[in-house]
Amino acid sequence: MEEEATSAPVAAGTLREPAHRVSPRAIRMWTVHALIGMVLLLAGQIAWWILADDPRIWHWVVGALWLVLGGGYAIIMPRWRYHVHRWEATSEAIYTQRGWLSQERRIAPISRVQTVDLKRGPITQLFRLASVTVTTASAAGPLEIEGLDVQEARRLVDALTAAAAAETGDAT
């Protein structure tokens, strides 16, 4: 998991990256997500410490692994994600890029867009962020942009809704 890998997002192909990054505060949001996972794992270890009375050395080994792997994840994953996550919308199309180890780009014509959702979970709200989900007629592959600034997300939703409303047909 070397840092250099972050400098090579989805191989270039013949399409450039989407133009806009998400909010830098998304790094903190993803870090909190990672830390929550770590805390849950720690709770498991505390329970193990209290309930079992096998040699303590194993508890320290697992604890050390937890610190190194979990800590590494909490430090690397959010920054890598931020480096990858990008989006761009025009009046004709929407284009997103996301992921970290596994990365993907999604492109859909606005004419095929069916719904545009803005979602704000508790952690997302904490950092004044929002995620925008754009669905098409396909049950597979909604386009999701995580970690957008709330104001920017609202503008995007309005723009997409207006563009999609201009289209006719049942988009299947």
Q: Which residues bind another protein (CB under 8 A)?
A: 5, 8, 10-16, 18-19, 88, 90, 92-93, 95, 101-109, 112, 136-141, 143, 170-172
Question: Measured from the CB of residue 89, what is the shortest distance to another protein in angstroms?
Answer: 9
Question: Measured from the CB of residue 44, what is the shortest distance to another protein in angstroms?
Answer: 28
Question: Measured from the CB of residue 159, what is the shortest distance to another protein in angstroms?
Answer: 14
Closer Cβ to another protein, 22 or 143, answer by number: 143
Distance, CA of 41 to CA of 43 (rounded, Å): 5
Closer Cβ to another protein, 24 or 141, answer by number: 141
- Of 164, 165, 38, 169, which is closest to residue 89 (Cα–Cα)? 164
Closer Cβ to another protein, 82 or 100, answer by number: 100
Closer Cβ to another protein, 11 or 57, answer by number: 11
Return the SS3 of 159.
helix
Question: Measured from the CB of residue 99, what is the shortest distance to another protein in angstroms?
Answer: 8
- 113, β-bridge pairs: 136
Structure tokens at 59: 């508890």
How many C-beta atoms lie closer than 10 Å to residue 23's C-beta?
22
CA angle (5, 9, 11) in 5-degree steps: 110
